[in-house]
Amino acid sequence: MAETSLPPGKELSPASPAVHGLALQIGAATLARLVINTSRRFPYIFATALSRGLGVPLVGITSLIAINQATGVLSPVFGPLGDRWGYRVLMLVGLGVLGVGMLAGGLIPVYPMALLALFAAGLGKSLFDPALQSYTGERVPYQRRGLAIGVIEFSWAGSTLVGIPLVALLIERRGWRSPFVMLGGLALLAVLFLAFLIPRDGRAAPHGGMPGMRAAWRRLSQERAALGALGFSLLMAAANDNLFVIYGVWLEGAFGLSIFALGVATIAIGLAELLGEGLTAFVADRLGLKRAILIGLVLSVFSFVVLPVLGQTLPLALTGLFIIFVTFEFTIVTSISLFTEILPGARATMMSSNVAAMSIGRMIGALMGSSVWLAGGLLVTSLVSAAICVLALALLTWGLRDWRA
């Protein structure tokens, strides 16, 4: 297949074959990422079904989920390899790891294989996401980066709105093992399609791996913009999960919502994520990515602050949550678009470190969320999340003070 990138200084015409080829690659990668995100998210929703199917206590499944989440911390180990071996290689390896792991979990229905499957789901995402973001950063002009990353991130909301309902249907009709087999098969099929669609990038064969890794990490640690960006991602993830882990408890206790109603609320969150990603795709580039992130951050702080005021009635409470998830998703997806440009010579190192920062932030937010809730209820939870967002704003402003794309 013909190379889709052009020499520096040349413009891509919207009607050119190169643009069409790149759009096809990004579209196919987005569908592959939908498979990855569904694999990552469905155990949260169907933990009880997995517990019954494997014959283990529910705590055994939640332990698997924790391992799944913790794999994001490993992402920086592989980022420098993407910069040396090529982003295409890491995307294909990530999908391959996911496919083999999920098939093993479905075809051999024992707890250790389920452990392998969910570990593979987390590891596959930690390999695939930074590589895809870096590939997009390398091929798509900065002025269109928000559009490209926003489209790719549709796969996150899509996993809630499309992937999870399909998994529910599969479990109901074919049993708990069927999603593992289906998702594993789709991942391996995606390996074949992307191997055909995405051209080799001509990077030299790897040699002297660890010195290359150390050099990449040293470069990142010396770049103020990178450090500010990683601190921002960690804090924003912590602020969001501080509320996310208790919103169901709050709605159930304050308004007596049933499990079904909480499921409907989850669909509303998926729609909010979709809207936030759409705003990034169609608005962020016009505003400018830096300005769009700052606007999103200010709106995020405001949405956390007003939630206790809106939370007096159920319709207003759901509206407040909807606004929080729209502003958060818009801010995070726009930040990913900008961060792909912070270290152009080591994009995979930067983006894999960003994945790790967000994973650590989610773990911090999840661990602190219940304690903050017990200490002061919704008011304190919302104010703590707002305060963390203010810190994120300060860090990002410090990091990007003299930075230019």
Domains of the chain: residue spans and CATH: 17-207 (1.20.1250.20), 219-399 (1.20.1250.20)
What does the pLDDT look like over 261-286, one tens digit per residue?
766 777 888 899 999 999 999 999 99
Sequence-separated (6 or more) residues with CB below 8 Å from residue 321: 247, 265, 268, 269, 272, 307
46 and 263 in contact (C-beta within 8 Å)? no
Sequence-separated (6 or more) residues with CB below 8 Å from residue 177: 53, 105, 106, 107, 109
Q: pTM score, two decimals?
A: 0.85
Within the chain, which residues score under 70 in pLDDT?
1-17, 202-213, 259-260, 262-263
> CB-hemisphere CA count at 13 Å for 72?
21
Nearest residue to 32 via CA among 135, 110, 138, 174: 135
Q: Which residue has the tokens 């911090």?
A: 364
Q: Quick one: tokens of 146? A: 């928000």
pLDDT at residue number 252: 82
Q: What is the DSSP letter of 16?
A: S
Rounded to a whole number of angstroms, the distance between the first and last alpha carbons of the chain is 30
Collapsed DSSP state (helix, strand, coil) of residue 370: helix
Cα 16 to chain center, whole Å? 31
19 and 82 in contact (C-beta within 8 Å)? no
Q: Quick one: tokens of 215? A: 């050099």
284 and 334 in contact (C-beta within 8 Å)? yes
Q: What is the CB neighbour count within 10 angstroms for residue 262?
A: 14
As a whole number of angstroms, the distance between CA 255 and CA 298 comes to: 29
pLDDT at residue number 14: 54
Question: In one letter, which amino acid is 244?
Answer: F
pLDDT at residue number 251: 85
As a whole number of angstroms, the distance between CA 199 and CA 351 comes to: 21
Q: What is the DSSP letter of 313?
A: S
Q: Quick one: tokens of 334? A: 């726009």
As a whole number of angstroms, the distance between CA 225 and CA 400 comes to: 5
Collapsed DSSP state (helix, strand, coil) of residue 221: helix
As a whole number of angstroms, the distance between CA 50 and CA 63 comes to: 12
What does the pLDDT look like over 237-253, one tens digit per residue?
999 989 987 888 888 88
227 and 353 in contact (C-beta within 8 Å)? no
What is the dihedral angle through the alpha carbons of 70, 41, 256, 318, rounded to the nearest 10 degrees?
Answer: 100
pLDDT at residue number 17: 65
Distances (CA, A) of 23 to 26, 149, 241, 390: 5, 12, 33, 36
Q: What is the DSSP letter of 203?
A: P
